[in-house]
Chain A
Amino acid sequence: MLDTTTQPRSVGLPTAPRYAGWIGRAASSGLYRNTIGLLVDSRRVRLAVLAGVPLLWIAMLHIGPILQMANISLLANYPPQPDKSSEYTLANYGLFFSDRLYFVPFVRSLVFAAVVTISTLVIVYPVAYYVAKVVQPKNRMRALLLLLIPFWAGELIRTFSVIMLLANRGALNVLLREFGFIDRPIPMLYTFFSLSFGVIYLLALYMLLPLYSAIEKIPTPLIQAAADLGAGPFQRFRRVILPLSKDGIVSGCSLVYLTAVGVFAAPLLLGGPNSVIFPEVIATLFHGSNDKWPEGAAFSMIMLVVSLTTVGLFMRIVGGRSVRLM
């Protein structure tokens, strides 16, 4: 019979206390028992400790900033002058509807986000399906990892890297000219094309992961059963795979849409004068030489409400149960 002390694991180690570690010793000490030990005995104290910090945090930093933004969006002047009472007004919202300069980029932003979302879905769906159902299970993580690698680089670096491809003397134009397809470079950068290209590049992951996990959950025998009952590839896709991956489509589209609506770095680097979208408009109201915070706050509120409502309606109509974030 073996003695536990001669186990290979403990060879060469000093016979330090394997048992009675610091937590055990601390917990059994009189000091602990008479302080924290007494406190956690009370259900009320436990509940207060458990709920206090989270509720305070959520109220202060998750809800507070948005409420304050809503508040400021209704102020006539900000920051309030000490001698004047701050008046509430709807003028900041009125400005939005009265000026094409603000209204057009807003609509453009919504359309842009919708186009990006649909394009991403169409591009990513076959890829997600391939990884989830065609690739052998043992290679699946590797196949997914290859797609994840670019996403560990940050938003800015990925946006920047798109310039390498699309610039006038970027890889694509140089290649096209080498082969004699074009004489002069096609101006691709600083257009809607480069902006969409970059944003899809940024957000594909948000579509890929929910789609992948939804498709992976579809039992393969179900697809085989459909084939056995005479459904061709298209029928199988339309009547079995597509409905069963609805959850993934809903969460993927919601995430991509919400991010695309508020995308900020990409238009700064890839967009041009003809592709000004709403986030840039809002940003100038905060960062411009004469900042107009109440107007900016009002515009932000409009964007927040409209984008969340759009996604909410989309989820209700398509009928996904809820957005799963991961």
Chain B
Amino acid sequence: MQPVVHFKNVNKSYGALTAVDDLDLAIEPGQFVTLLGPSGCGKSTTLRMLGGFDSPTSGEIYLEGKPISHLPPNKRNVNIVFQDYALFPHLTVGRNIAFGLELKGMQHAAIHKRVTGLLSLVSLQDHAERMPAQLSGGQRQRVALMRALAPDPNVLLLDEPLSALDAKLRQQMQIELKSIQQKTGKTFIFVTHDQEEALTMSDVIVVMNKGRIEQMGGPDELYARPRSRFVADFIGQSNFLEGAVVSVSDGIAAVEWRGNVVHADVNGTSPVPGERATLALRPEALYCLSSKPEGRPALKGRVDQRVFKGAHTTLTVALENGSSLLVQIDPVALSHIEGDDVWVGWRDRDAVLLAN
């Protein structure tokens, strides 16, 4: 299938600062793609280049196979939902949504029909005559979304559109956004720094850092098999174990770590015995026992700190080898109070080796 959006070796620099560094990215049609990363990682610049508000320093962007790098925004069939919505304050909701349609030369009757249809998609059909200032944050968000969808773009771009909403409303809008995307079948490219948002909605997440793609894949894949320390750290929480590779067999690497030998999935890397390696380990992948388990690897330690977090409880376990690990346990577990001796371990496949 031809990708709907294709960045080919795109670079963008502002003077000495490189915002986007040799970006190569193909996006399949109909997907919900999220560009995820900390501020300054180049995700917004990428979006602005696609929208036409910045042009690449070098490289080319293709929209449905056609190069668009030097087309102005008004000549691209791509629309943006802006961070603070950018609704026109002097136009009614209806006329905001009609804005793009009017410029396409559509007649009143056709516009009216389309506006009404779009508004009913988000249950705002009786708000067409309101001014943006009279709407709540969530309603504005929906109007901005419908305004961007109205001209029937190939690709819809969303620039952190949920950041201005409170937590409850944000979760609700995440579900709504996803369902609108599925209903319309359009390609959504969503930019955020919020990993939870990315995990909830995306078909594909593109993690960016310092202008480059760190890793790209489905939410579960990124979570379970982070390729780099950055990804493992940015999405969810991780323990990082740094040691030296001892041996590799059957996709499992044995790593010497502070006098212990621990195991981890090679995770697509090709470790060489003797070289340094980093393991990533999710707190919830660890098990914690009061006595040394039979036939399973475990490291001895003592509970240093126990924090109740509602859905789970987090332990900081100080290991005998001088290091400490974060472990997630059942929130109502009665055992493992501070000062208790515990045995901590994990299944070999639950830890992953990171690329150096």
Contact of A18 among B105, B108, B119 (CB under 8 A): B108
Is there a chain B Cβ closer than 8 Å to A99's Cβ?
A: no
Does B125 lie within 8 Å of A2, measured CB to CB? yes
A1-48 residues at the B interface, CB under 8 angstroms:
1-4, 7, 9-10, 17-21, 23-25, 27-29, 41
In this complex, what residue of B is CB-closest to A33? B105
C-alpha gap A23/B98 in the complex (Å): 13
- A–B pairs, 11, beta carbons within 8 Å: A4-B125, A4-B128, A7-B128, A9-B129, A18-B95, A18-B108, A19-B108, A20-B98, A27-B102, A27-B103, A28-B105
B102-136 residues at the A interface, CB under 8 angstroms:
102-108, 111-112, 115-116, 119, 125-126, 128-129
A24: B residues at CB distance < 8 A: 102-103, 105
Known contacts A2-B125, A4-B126; is-contact A25 B105 (Cβ 8 Å): yes
Does B129 lie within 8 Å of A19, measured CB to CB? no
B216: A residues at CB distance < 8 A: none
Is there a chain A Cβ closer than 8 Å to B219's Cβ?
A: no
Known contacts A4-B94, A4-B116, A41-B72; is-contact A20 B125 (Cβ 8 Å): no
A27: B residues at CB distance < 8 A: 102-103
C-alpha gap A146/B102 in the complex (Å): 47
Contact of B108 among A2, A17, A23 (CB under 8 A): A17
Does A20 lie within 8 Å of B107, measured CB to CB? yes
Does A19 lie within 8 Å of B115, measured CB to CB? yes
B108: A residues at CB distance < 8 A: 17-20
Shortest Cβ distance from A13 into chain B, in angstroms? 12
Contact of B103 among A3, A7, A18, A28 (CB under 8 A): A28
C-alpha gap A150/B72 in the complex (Å): 52
Does B94 lie within 8 Å of A18, measured CB to CB? yes
B106: A residues at CB distance < 8 A: 19-20
Does B105 lie within 8 Å of A29, measured CB to CB? yes
Interface of B is mostly: helix
10 new A-B contacts at CB < 8 Å, known A2-B125, A7-B128, A25-B102: A4-B94, A4-B126, A9-B129, A18-B108, A19-B106, A20-B106, A20-B111, A25-B105, A27-B103, A28-B104
In this complex, what residue of B is CB-closest to A23? B102
Q: Chain B interface: which size bin?
A: 20 to 34
Is there a chain A Cβ closer than 8 Å to B101's Cβ?
A: yes
In this complex, what residue of B is CB-closest to A17? B108
Does A19 lie within 8 Å of B104, measured CB to CB? no
A1: B residues at CB distance < 8 A: 125-126
The interface of chain A, by Cβ under 8 A from chain B, is: 1-4, 7, 9-10, 17-21, 23-25, 27-29, 41
A18: B residues at CB distance < 8 A: 94-95, 108, 112
B119: A residues at CB distance < 8 A: 4
B72: A residues at CB distance < 8 A: 41
B128: A residues at CB distance < 8 A: 4, 7
Does B102 lie within 8 Å of A28, measured CB to CB? yes
Contact of A21 among B94, B102, B115 (CB under 8 A): B102
B104: A residues at CB distance < 8 A: 28
C-alpha gap A183/B85 in the complex (Å): 76
B115: A residues at CB distance < 8 A: 19
C-alpha gap A89/B184 in the complex (Å): 81
C-alpha gap A289/B236 in the complex (Å): 90
C-alpha gap A7/B128 in the complex (Å): 9
C-alpha gap A21/B111 in the complex (Å): 11
B129: A residues at CB distance < 8 A: 4, 7, 9-10
In this complex, what residue of A is CB-closest to B107? A20
A29: B residues at CB distance < 8 A: 105
A-B pairs, 4 with minimum CB distance: A24-B102, A28-B105, A2-B126, A17-B108
A17: B residues at CB distance < 8 A: 107-108
B111: A residues at CB distance < 8 A: 19-20
In this complex, what residue of B is CB-closest to A21? B102
C-alpha gap A136/B300 in the complex (Å): 70
C-alpha gap A10/B129 in the complex (Å): 9
C-alpha gap A200/B108 in the complex (Å): 60
Does A19 lie within 8 Å of B101, measured CB to CB? yes
Known contacts A4-B94, A4-B116, A41-B72; is-contact A19 B126 (Cβ 8 Å): no
In this complex, what residue of B is CB-closest to A27? B103
C-alpha gap A1/B116 in the complex (Å): 12
Shortest Cβ distance from A187 into chain B, in angstroms? 59
C-alpha gap A55/B119 in the complex (Å): 46
Shortest Cβ distance from A33 into chain B, in angstroms? 10
Q: Of B105, B106, B107, B119, which is in contact with the most chain A CB atoms at under 10 Å from its CB?
A: B105
